[in-house]
Structure 1
Amino acid sequence: MNFVFNPVTQQMETAPLNEKMACLSGIAKKEHWLIEAHELEVFEKHELGRGGFGRVVVGRLHGLPVAVKMSKSVKALRGINSLVNELRIFRRLRHPNIVMFHGARIDIAAGELMIVEEAVPGVTLAELITPPPSPIRTKARRLLLLRICKALRFLHLQTPSIMHGDLKPGNILVPQTMQPKLTDFGLARPVSASLAYENGILLNCLRV
């Protein structure tokens, strides 16, 4: 899969919030990942967790359960170039071990952004291994690691390669099926092959 992006102009980085939101909404609509208000139902009191972007709450998209990331403040929209890049990368990734991105709900007037993702009922890998760890058999552990590696291999084989940039147990969701899902692509970015590899090994794919 080839990733070709038309970068947002540098002037837009310093533009007023409503102009940033309008720019983001225009890109989302053109690329068919804009979610309209009537399509999404959000249950703000049913919180699933919190992260750097903001709160994650329960939602329903066309009647189906989803996870909704709600931006905690306008600060989340300061780097519109990186945000647009993240969403463009995320929307093209389709793999059984990567959380699926459904789209974004953008409210220009309110300055609100909601990122809508696949709902993955379960726990994070961090919770799974926190003492006392869950009694997972050796075979199941190996299968779990293998599936995580398959997701990373899929990212690294894109053109250009995609580095997750924030790989850690807290960003890996594990449902009861033990089919792990990589999530939180806030630091993901495409990198050129010349920069990404050294002696056949992908560099800088793990941050702690």
Structure 2
Amino acid sequence: MALPSHKAVQIGDDSLQDWKAVGAGGFGQVYTARHKDWGFNVAIKVHHHGYGSNTDGALWHEAYHMEQASNPFVLRLFGVYRGCPPGESSVRLGIVMEFMERDSLQSLQQALSGPPPWPLAFRLAHQVALGMNFLHKLTPALLHKDLKPSNVLLDEDLNVKLTDFGLSRVSTSDLNSSRFTAGEEGSLAYMPPEAFDPSYEPVRAYDMYSYGILLWSILTGKEPYPAAPYSRVALRIPLGDRPPYEVIDQSKADGIGELVDLMKKCWVHKPSERPTFQRCLLVTEHVYSKHKDRIRATVTQVLSKLEPEDDHLPSNVHVPSSFHAQPPAQSMDTVDHASFPKTKGSSKQQDSVATSTVKLSDTDKAKFVDDHKATLIQDIANVMAIVDDLRDMVHPETYARIQAKETNQEKVRVIYTNTLRSGQKVKAAFYDALIKNELYLMRGLVADD
């Protein structure tokens, strides 16, 4: 059985908190949780069956290949999990991985109701090719065998991370082993025609075909054969059916035609005539280079559309080195409430409000921040002062995104959709920073409550 190396960290329940189920499949459940010592969220893929079952080998297999395939465009393996997830009564095995804040290419397509803007579409195509080329260049080569939009994950800046190595295996052209039955593995719409033969032994050309179908999906924002039953897909693909490339308007942007040509070469019927990923890179890099100067603005544009819909996504927290020089944020317990500007109403009412804010727990502060989200987004004026008071709770890239926004409302939205997702502690600190920097606003909100 292929096992991860001695470097693989063993992670148990005592290291994890704030569990949340984020997905499921035939293998089991995917959770996100915060690692207490590391200070950021991780993803945990846990098998349905208990520890010691015959599914352990598949999990070790996936973890081993994730470790072997480590590169910037493949999801990072942090370690292996053994414990009892919430709601379970028996020990489970799992693998602990990076948590991708922006989910997958599939969810991006659904959120945008179509393909992303062309500079981002071209970068996605190129980064998938970079990741797959690395896998195929390993010795022996590693096949993915389930390349599709849901397995192309996206980080906070919409960069590609390939995942789901449960179906990966060593190429039989390098290591003669492992037959499989067509239909048992992968997704039919992305399987090459030869894979429907029960005697088929997978080689690199399998992934090349899947990449061709994936290119069609990237350029159209759609899934292939959405209305066709699986039985018909399995019948028609070996007979030569492919998604209709005519629906792609090649005049929309410079380079689309080149990717369409590449797509058709990747999904040709004869495996030996398909290009390698190294050949694909010559095309994808050339196309992306034509639009690379617009990628930053494009990503910002797409993220601005996604942010209102992404309230479920937590954010990793890192320490910006420039923040260490900032003075510590003033705690609610040390704020001089006698310095609050006087508002309309009796001094008795004002004292009551000040006293109530002092006694708030972190839970109450977090609830206040959530309950008044709309007003705070609209009315906060001293945004950067608040961000500076949060110091190491704001990821450096998030800090840069906040600075880049033109309006205070946009800046505060970034705080809510990124930093405040980390949980109760950061929301309480945000509340304290509001008391320090937005006295008039907070006085009015507390009084209204």
TM-score (norm 1): 0.72
> One-letter code of the match for 1:120?
M
Residue 46 of structure 2: aligned partner? 70
User: Take 2:52 and 2:148, find their aligned partners in 1: how far apart are those partners?
Assistant: 21
Number of residue pairs aligned between Structure 1 and Structure 2 = 178
C-alpha deviation, 1:71, in angstroms: 1.8
User: Take 2:115 and 2:144, find their aligned partners in 1: how far apart are those partners?
Assistant: 28
User: Take 1:81 and 1:50, find their aligned partners in 2: how far apart are those partners?
Assistant: 19
Partner residue of 2:10 out of 35, 42, 45: 35
Q: For the Cα contact (< 8 Å) 1:91–1:100, is it kept in 2?
A: yes
C-alpha deviation, 1:106, in angstroms: 2.2
Q: Deviations over 1:38-59 (max 9, x none)?
A: 6620433x22222332221122
Residue 238 of structure 2: aligned partner? none
Q: Deviations over 1:108-135 (max 9, x none)?
A: 9933112100111013111222375256
- 1:83 to 2:63 alignment: no
Partner residue of 2:100 out of 109, 113, 120: 120
Q: Secondary structure at the match of 2:59?
A: helix
C-alpha deviation, 1:195, in angstroms: 7.5
Q: Using a 3 Å threshold, how does the CA distance of structure 1 residues 125 and 118 change in structure 2: closer, same or farther?
A: same
Q: Which is worse superposed, 46-55 or 70-79?
A: 70-79
Q: For the Cα contact (< 8 Å) 1:160–1:192, is it kept in 2?
A: no
C-alpha deviation, 1:176, in angstroms: 4.1
Residue 202 of structure 1: aligned partner? 204
Q: Using a 3 Å threshold, how does the CA distance of structure 1 residues 139 and 75 change in structure 2: closer, same or farther?
A: same
Give the number of the structure whose residues are more often strand, by fraction: 1
Q: Which is worse superposed, 84-93 or 105-114?
A: 105-114
Which structure's CA Rg is the greater one? 2
Q: Secondary structure at the match of 1:32?
A: coil
Q: Using a 3 Å threshold, how does the CA distance of structure 1 residues 91 and 40 change in structure 2: closer, same or farther?
A: farther
Q: For the Cα contact (< 8 Å) 1:54–1:70, is it kept in 2?
A: yes
User: Take 2:51 and 2:14, find their aligned partners in 1: how far apart are those partners?
Assistant: 26
User: Take 1:52 and 1:88, find their aligned partners in 2: how far apart are those partners?
Assistant: 20
User: Take 2:97 and 2:8, find their aligned partners in 1: how far apart are those partners?
Assistant: 12
- 1:143 to 2:123 alignment: yes
Q: Higher relative contact order by CA 8 Å / sep ≥ 6: 1 or 2?
A: 1
User: Take 1:39 and 1:111, find their aligned partners in 2: how far apart are those partners?
Assistant: 14
Residue 28 of structure 2: aligned partner? 54
Q: Deviations over 1:133-159 (max 9, x none)?
A: 256221211011100110000100000
Residue 106 of structure 1: aligned partner? 82
Q: For the Cα contact (< 8 Å) 1:42–1:68, is it kept in 2?
A: no
Q: Secondary structure at the match of 1:103?
A: strand
TM-score (norm 2): 0.36
> One-letter code of the match for 2:26?
G
Q: For the Cα contact (< 8 Å) 2:124–2:159, is it kept in 1?
A: yes
Q: For the Cα contact (< 8 Å) 2:33–2:44, is it kept in 1?
A: yes
- 1:173 to 2:153 alignment: yes
Residue 258 of structure 2: aligned partner? none
C-alpha deviation, 1:173, in angstroms: 1.1
Q: For the Cα contact (< 8 Å) 2:140–2:175, is it kept in 1?
A: no
Give the number of the structure whose residues are more often helix, by fraction: 2
Q: Which is worse superposed, 101-110 or 169-178?
A: 101-110
